[in-house]
Chain A
Amino acid sequence: MASLVGSRVERKEDTRFLQGKGRYTADINIANQTYAVFVRSPHARAKIKSVDTSKALKSSGVVGVLTGKEIAEDKIGGLIAGWAIRSEDGSEMKVPANPPLAKDVANFVGEPIAVVFAETLDEAKEGAEKVKVDYKVLKAVVDPAEAMKSDAIHDGVDKNLCYDWLLGDRKAVDEAFAKADKIIKVDLINNRLVPNAMEPRACVVDYNTASEEITLYTTSQNPHLSRLVMSAFGGVAPENKLRVVAPDVGGGFGSKINVYNEEIVCSWASKKIERPIKWVAERTESFLTDTHGRDHVTHAELAVTNDGKFLGFKNETIANLGAYARVFGTVTPTYLFGPCATGVYVIPAAYSNVKAVYTNTAPVDAYRGAGRPEATYTIERLVEKAAMELGMDKTEIRMKNFPTQFPFKQTLVHTVDSGDYVAGLEKAKQMADYAGFEARRKKSEANGKLRGIGVSSYFEACGIAPSAAVMSLGCGVGLWESAEVRFNPTGQISVFTGAHSHGQSHDTTFAQIAADEMGVPIENIDIVHGDTDKGTFGMGTYGSRSLTVGGIAIVNACKKIIAKGKRVAAKMLEVNEDEIEFKDGEFVALKSNKKKTIGEVAFACYLPGQRDEMKSPIPEGDEPGLIESAFYDPPNFSFPAGSHICEVEIDPDTGNVKVEKYTAVDDFGRIVNPMIVEGQVHGGIAQGIGQALHENTQYDETGQLMTASYMDYTMPRADNFPEFNLGFTCTHATSNPLGVKGCGEAGAIASPPTVMNAVIDALGGQEISMPATAEKVWKACKSIKKSNAKAA
């Protein structure tokens, strides 16, 4: 039987999506449902003096109005930070309470204050307009760089500082810097982004008054985690009385990891008003309240020798957490960032110091890459600048500092099991025709254009994550994954996974894996996910973990199916178990060559009794049925890596930057479905180019979000991109039996520095911040002209 793993299998999920048969949360309607509209703070920082709901309650069609007062009275808990990070001085991080409905203070524009339920959406909107909130507006803290010098926005959080974290050895770094020939320095802003999954967040809640069970349909990347948080911290319902269903979800990119205020409030309220509730975010609500990404202010230095050897690295970063610390909010700028900030290089001494601050802006959390794009941007800007200042070729300086031995003990935390960074960069150079760049540059110059080339090499720690490691670093849960394989008597198989697909194609790739493991047609396999009532527990999908953790759980459950199948087949074929070989879906008795297919064995597993001549096929000590489950906890992170090369052409008259060529060579270990992997890389690169050239989240000095719709926030569109040129190298991961490393985030990690390095190269080394919009680039071109004129 030909292996499906490694083939371009077309997606099982496409047939429904392409015909409009996907079932997203907003598509769900429940008889007798009410519609929820939230009353949100129009101020970034304000005391809530009073909330008057009397007029709203009398408004046409309004069924109920609830505020922070009622939710506090019912002792419903708030939103949580999932990781406890300690400061350098050993003190614990400072986390303010984050109630689902703000009662006393509002801390960002869009924070929910009250909620109105009505018979129709229009009536709920009208009702919400009649809720009168009396605010005392306070001066907002908006700029993260100024936050530590500003008023404390939360009681008990001095200087707005959540933690002041250090990873690495300052003394060793000082010593390394003392020996350096040259110190390369950069000051960077990693621009704040809005993840912008195309499906706005939504929830539909149905409370069953008889069973007292709440069913929450929601746009989540991790329904089990949502249930856990809502039950353990929210106190909304016991876990066994709370069913969370994340049906088809239209993209996540990190913004759908968190349990949000609206899900807690609607779940709690559905029980209170004894009516189903539907809430669907408008796009501006998503902009205001979805967790944002990035938002770092960084000063970093690289100590180098004159011949381009790296000696030491230091990184001082202020990370903006927004108004509250959320699930991955505190770990994203620390353990997901610091360890990767030394990049793919041997650097003997390094440290990362991160001060995480609260501001009156939307909470910041994981966004595709989470910490690793910021890390890669920091080191790759430094390396490129080092090459420029030392007059070295930008690929040569990288090659010179790559590790050549694996496992590679990276400076700060990770031991990278496998990789071949030299091969990746060599391949990228060849595919990008790196050698031919100078000729292309001259041609652009002849046309009055500026052409630049940029390189970046990255690695990332993903496959999140080994529980022992992450829990020792402050994670509140283990990050294993579970799977269950139910082999039904008729040969149809349901594979349950705790991972969740919101575009990642699990219906297909997981089925490929299970089909290969059990030697059955892929059509016989259904992947089931996204419903806490169906699957066993699971941690969901983020951090490129679905395949590397969830996929391995499926492999292990399949192996248990085969192991039991062997015992049963041995009894059926009347031979010893060690005389049975399993191959291509058949259990074969080696001596007699008698066979039983896995389907026959599965059927027999459900017939444990003795009947006439037929003996029970179930060996002594085994149970009937053929259902196996596995919990897989990875022994290490996985470490995808690669090198990307970008060429841009700038029109100095308009400042417009055109991405002319983009080459990506990635090492994701073994590839299950090349077609799907390519799609993941395309999407990641596009998001990264979006960050580098187009996207920016802009608050004004009072904390109003100026970019709260697609008319103000530039989403990259089809005509912003060239055709991306992809290549792969493959070194198998040694930490898992499939040899896979994960591919979901790599594009978004590697591309921002690649593009920016190209832009800065085109500008002759003039620094410019992301996004390199036409306006900024045009100004830079003008200042170059001026300085050239002066020099002449």
Chain B
Amino acid sequence: MFINFTYGYIRIYSGRRRLMTKVTLEVNGKKVSKDVPDHTLLSVFLRDNLNLTGTHVGCDTSQCGACVVHVNGKSIKSCSTLAADIEGSKVTTIEGLAKDGKLHPMQAAFKKTHGLQCGYCTPGMVMSAVDLLQTKKNPSDQEIREWLEGNICRCTGYQNIVAAVKEAATKM
């Protein structure tokens, strides 16, 4: 039994009411549309509904930044964003960064400077760093460190991540 709502509908599901929402986004240049429970987080939407598992979840509390993606060009933490809340937006995930089989300058810089080890924080770190360089062209070491304050890495001690951002700044 379905009941129409302003956006979405209530589904009577095994005797329990669940609000379902149709979410339409443009993700990595492709239009996608899915019916999901309306409390679905963007990170869950990307990982479970679109199988874009490059976006990682490290803390569930908006602290670690492994889940950072771009929404309409700006970095946000997808673990604390409702998918329905950004209806109609353009989303770029780590999977959408490389173009025509060529690494984005930030990805190439991380590789060159050994800015990653286990790779878990990396997608969020890269997406956050790309936004930094969009915001400020040639940031100082201190500005890079302060910008990346919302992304935790347990492996690298951040030194080579800072080096990667500086390297990318010469290419972007």
Contacting residues, chain B, for A198 (C-beta < 8 A) = 56, 58, 64, 66, 118, 120-121, 152-155
Contact surface of A with B, Cβ cutoff 8 Å: 10-11, 13-24, 26-27, 29, 60-61, 122, 196-200, 248-251, 253, 282-284, 502-505, 675-676, 678-680, 682-687, 709-711, 715, 717-719, 721, 723-724, 747
Nearest chain A CB to B5 CB, angstrom units? 19
Is B118's CB under 8 angstroms from A721's CB? no
B149 touches A718 (CB 8 A): yes
Query: Across the interface, which residues of A come within 8 angstroms of B114, CB to CB?
Result: 10-11, 675-676, 678-679
The residue on A at minimum CB distance from B14 is: A60
- Since A20-B52, A717-B151 are in contact, a sample of 11 more A-B pairs with Cβ atoms closer than 8 Å, ordered by chain A residue number, is A10-B112, A10-B114, A15-B103, A18-B126, A284-B60, A503-B119, A678-B114, A683-B157, A686-B157, A717-B152, A717-B158
Looking at the complex, which one of A22, A504, A710 makes contact with B54 (CB distance below 8 Å)?
A22
> A-side binding surface: helix, strand, loop or mixed?
loop
Give every chain B residue within 8 A of A502 (Cβ-Cβ): 118
Determine if B154 and A196 form an interchain contact, defined as CB atoms under 8 angstroms apart: yes
Can you list 5 contacts pairing A with B, beta carbon distance less than 8 Å? A18-B111, A196-B154, A679-B114, A686-B156, A718-B161
Interface bin, chain B: 35 or more
Q: Within 8 Å of chain A (Cβ to Cβ): is B138? A: no
Indicate if the CB atoms of B119 and A718 lie closer than 8 Å: no
Q: Would you give the shortest CB distance from A208 to chain B, in whole angstroms?
A: 23
- The contact of B119 among A17, A283, A724, by CB within 8 Å, is A17
Q: Give chain B's interface residues, CB within 8 Å of chain A.
A: 13-16, 37, 47-48, 52-61, 63-64, 66, 93-95, 97-98, 103, 107, 110-112, 114, 116-123, 126, 141-142, 144-146, 148-149, 151-162
Are A719 and B145 in contact, with the CB atoms below 8 A? yes
Q: How far is the CB of A125 from chain B (nearest CB, A)?
A: 12
Contact between chains at A683 and B156 (CB < 8 Å)? yes
Cα(A249)–Cα(B117), bound, Å:
10
User: Are A199 and B145 in contact, CB atoms less than 8 angstroms apart?
Assistant: no
Which of B93, B117, B158 counts the most chain A CB atoms within 10 A?
B117
The reply to whether B61 and A710 contact each other, CB–CB distance below 8 Å, is yes
The interface residues of chain A lying within 8 Å CB-to-CB of B111 are: 10-11, 14-15, 18
For the complex of A and B, the 9 pairs showing the least CB-CB separation, nearest first, are: A20-B54, A250-B120, A17-B119, A686-B157, A503-B118, A682-B157, A710-B63, A503-B117, A20-B94
A683 to B114, CA, bound (A): 12
Q: Are B59 and A18 in contact (CB under 8 A)?
A: no
- A138 shortest CB reach to chain B, Å: 31
Cα A199 to Cα B121 with chains together (Å): 8
Say whether B154 contacts A683, CB under 8 Å: yes
* Cβ of B119 to closest chain A Cβ, rounded Å: 3
* B120 / chain A contacts, CB cutoff of 8 Å: 22, 24, 197-199, 250-251
How distant is B52 from chain A, measured CB to nearest CB, in Å? Answer: 7
Residues on A with beta carbons closer than 8 Å to the beta carbon of B52: 20
Q: What CA separation (Å) do A27 and B153 show in the bound complex?
A: 19
A199 and B118 contact, CB distance less than 8 A: yes
Q: Identify the closest chain B residue to A504 (Cβ).
A: B117
